[in-house]
Amino acid sequence: MGLVAQNFDFLLKGAYYTLYITIVSMFFGFFLALILAIARLKGNLLISSIARVYVSIFRGTPILVQIFIVYFGLPDYGIKFGPLTAACVALSLNIAAYLSETFRGAIVSVSKGQTEAALSLGLSPWQTMRRIVLPQAARVAIPPMGNTFIGILKETSLVSIVTVTELLRSAQLLIANYYIAMPFYIAIAIMYWIMSLVFSAILNRIEDNLSRAY
């Protein structure tokens, strides 16, 4: 493992890009997912149908194909992204489709009686959604959202195909340089595992706080 220690800073840089892509993708995917979920539940027939088709497409096609479309396909129409931006865009669009179903199920789980009570007290539909429904839905959504978060952390390894030097790509470069694979693969497996444990702990803490609040 001496080669791993010797090149640990390089692997840490790859881990940084892995975390960067994961967090950026989750951030934008979260808000897009929320819009999609509300569109499916509260939108008119056209808006609801568009949201449903979006979810169907992105859940029904491989994420690697989506990355290729964003990075290699869109330039055919004059839309060009750098490797890192393309990775974030593709993963954000993908994760939004999965999270929207999580959010939709969580929103539906909040009893209609609470919504009716809030409306009867004079709250607007938006205030009811923001103050009554969403906080309670968040408690239900946190566990599956955590699984999605960890899943996207691991799927960042796919963006190495478009030359983003994230954790897997960093290991591949070192393997090509030293002609030895196992130590580097073991090292990045441990690093992915540690990052997953940290995210799980953070999400568990958030879930506990929400459980005490509601």
Domain residue ranges of the chain, discontinuous segments joined by +: 2-213
Torsion angles phi and psi, residue 74, rounded to 5: -60, -35
pLDDT at 97 (0 to 100): 93
Residue 17 pLDDT exceeds 90 = yes
- Distance, CA of 192 to CA of 188 (rounded, Å): 6
Mean pLDDT of the chain: 87
The owner of tokens 């497409």 is 57
User: What mean pLDDT do residues 17-27 have?
Assistant: 94
Percent of the chain at pLDDT > 90 equals: 55
Summarize pLDDT for 67-106 with one digit per residue, the tens.
Answer: 999 999 999 999 999 999 999 999 999 999 999 998 888 8
Q: How many CA atoms lie within 13 A of 19 on its CB side?
A: 14
Summarize pLDDT for 124-169 with one digit per residue, the tens.
Answer: 777 777 777 777 777 777 778 888 888 889 889 999 888 898 999 9
Domain 2-213 has CATH 1.10.3720.10: yes
Residue 1 pLDDT exceeds 70 = no
Residue closest to 142 by CA, chosen among 99, 108, 112 = 99
Classify residue 163 by its DSSP letter: T
**Residue 93, C-beta contacts closer than 8 angstroms, at least 6 positions apart:** 29, 32, 58, 66, 70
The answer to whether residues 183 and 36 touch, using CB atoms and an 8 Å cutoff, is: no
> What is the sign of the dihedral through the CA atoms of 188, 189, 192 and 198?
negative
